[in-house]
Structure 1
Amino acid sequence: MHNNAFAKLGLNFAYLAFEITNDTLPAAVQSIRTLDMRGSNISMPNKQKILPLLDKLDPVAKMVGAVNTVVNDNGVLTGYTTDGTGFMKALADENLDIRGEKMTIAGAGGAGTAIEIQAAYDGVKEMSIFNIHDQTWENAERNVKIINEQTDCKAQLFDLADQDAFKREIADSAIYCDSTGVGMKPLEGKSLVNDPSFFHKDMIVFDTVYAPRTTKLMEVAQEAGVEHVFNGLGMMLEQGAEAFKLWTGKEMPVDYIRDLLFDQDDQK
């Protein structure tokens, strides 16, 4: 994606992938300075571990508590998170605006946290977060606290085991987003929502999973006649475009990249 965009715009950049563990992360971050790299993307399991190794954090990255993009300005490393921005831009690409609306979202891991904080920061009025009692429950509690204290959005946390509340909150929402890994391998063919009656046709259903292109959640939503049903491909593309702009100061040719790399018939 990035290399094709660099070539299209005639930019003298190259995007390379390296396998970095928690143990090798400090040396890898120092190499950004040493080799005068313009920046880097950060994937799991390093999105939180990198925080103390950076010089600055973007305000949203600080709220999220995770970084997926680093920009190097003459040795000063600033961390950003573009996942939430990618989510909001993917909706905007479809001429959909959830500002002032209610959102229900499942999951409070890395992607979920970024989406929740960014959506609240951008103007979502109300948010119901559903999570299981695993290692991310405390993070979900933290997200609710941050949203309620630092944005104008009103957030609530629910146990995903409470299916009555899950159905009620989705029915009252303009958008339902699944930010968990349910639906992708090894949970392919599974969905947190299996009953089409959870959905109403005028809402948006957004699955952050993009492999497979059509998830079980999307099938359930389509069975319910939901008008706007999306996988995570647009979010993945737009979060990359946001990082591209941070590094280069230029807009990624998103339509060109979409046509070049992805089958148009599989966008939704």
Structure 2
Amino acid sequence: MTLSISKDTRLCMSLSGRPGNFGTRFQNYLYQELQLDYLYKAFTTTDLPAAIGGIRALGVRGCAVSMPFKEACIEHLDALHESAATLQSVNTIVADDGHLTGYNTDYSAVVRLLKQHGVPEDSRYALRGSGGMAKAVACALRDSGFSDGCIVARNEPAGRALAAQCGVGWCETLDDQPAQLLVNVTPLGMRGADAEQLAFDERAVAAAHWVFDVVAVPVETPLIRLARALGKPVITGAEVIVLQAVEQFVLYTGVRSDAELIERAARFALTE
């Protein structure tokens, strides 16, 4: 894939503690296919204020935000769209003449997937995690009608705060009461040090009716592989990352692509 870069090329980027290739491959594929003069590059940082200052100062058009920056970036922005203000979590920054607005496209992606997969609203869920992405998923569950659940989090203050926000309970470890829907919103199963870690043990997965792992790379995490082996319906992080990335693309460019091109871009981005 060859991109033509000039002084007029608009830069988009991502900030993540553990950068991956999905966003770079997905966005640049669409830019090329649609002949848009944009370039996308993934970054990490140990100086978040300076990194966001660079977005403002250098005219970067947009920035995807991943763990662990989704909440920490808020104080450095000028405004929050309703999607981010409600959650107090940002996964997308859009710059307009140096004015930075935070959005959250994770939430809408999760709402859509729960509906598409037909997960019953009366399912009791256990959600593991308490960070910015966990907020998006937990609030999506709440607003989709899921009212019986538990936030499983080692960080007790954050876990209890999220549980209170969604009107459910908190526990440090999954209790003995089975959950019909298991949701992992931690790095467990992600490539790297946590690659072989299960977010929930086999007993919990065997008792569940649905398994949802937000980790996108690899698509087949240990949790998803176990769930498939036990015959459980799954929702993968790859599904989430594609839907939220499409909305980011629209925010950056103002262009909404057709489904066939998006499918090709996703297939390219997920095949490294």
With structure 2 as the length reference, what TM-score do the two structures score?
A: 0.76
Aligned to 2:95: 72
The whole-number CA distance in structure 2 between the counterparts of 1:257 and 1:214 is 19
Aligned to 1:147: 166
Identical positions, percent? 27
Alignment partner of 1:140: what SS?
helix
Q: Give 1:182's aligned amino acid.
A: L
The whole-number CA distance in structure 2 between the counterparts of 1:222 and 1:160 is 23
Q: How far off is 1:55 after superposition?
A: 1.1
Aligned to 2:206: 197
Change in CA separation of 1:16 and 1:211 when aligned onto 2, cut-off 3 Å: closer
Alignment partner of 1:45: what SS?
coil
Q: Give 1:186's aligned amino acid.
A: A
Change in CA separation of 1:34 and 1:188 when aligned onto 2, cut-off 3 Å: closer
Alignment partner of 2:149: what SS?
strand
| 1:241 to 2:246 alignment | yes
Change in CA separation of 1:119 and 1:9 when aligned onto 2, cut-off 3 Å: farther
| 1:257 to 2:261 alignment | no
Two-structure CA RMSD over aligned residues (Å): 2.5
| 1:126 to 2:147 alignment | yes
Residue pairs, 1:1-268, within 5 angstroms: 1-21=26-46, 23=47, 25-91=48-114, 95-98=116-119, 100-102=121-123, 103-121=125-143, 123-133=144-154, 136-148=155-167, 155-162=168-175, 164-165=176-177, 167=178, 170=179, 173=180, 175-184=181-190, 185-191=192-198, 192-195=200-203, 196-199=205-208, 203-226=209-232, 228-252=233-257, 253-262=261-270
Q: How far off is 1:91 after superposition?
A: 4.7
Alignment partner of 2:193: what SS?
strand
Post-superposition Cα deviations, 1:56-101, rounded to whole Å, max 9, x if no partner, equal 1123322332212101123321111222333334455xx3244744
Q: Check conservation: 2:90, 2:132, Cα contact below 8 A.
A: no
Q: How far off is 1:161 after superposition?
A: 4.8
The whole-number CA distance in structure 2 between the counterparts of 1:75 and 1:233 is 32
Q: Check conservation: 2:130, 2:153, Cα contact below 8 A.
A: no
With structure 1 as the length reference, what TM-score do the two structures score?
A: 0.77
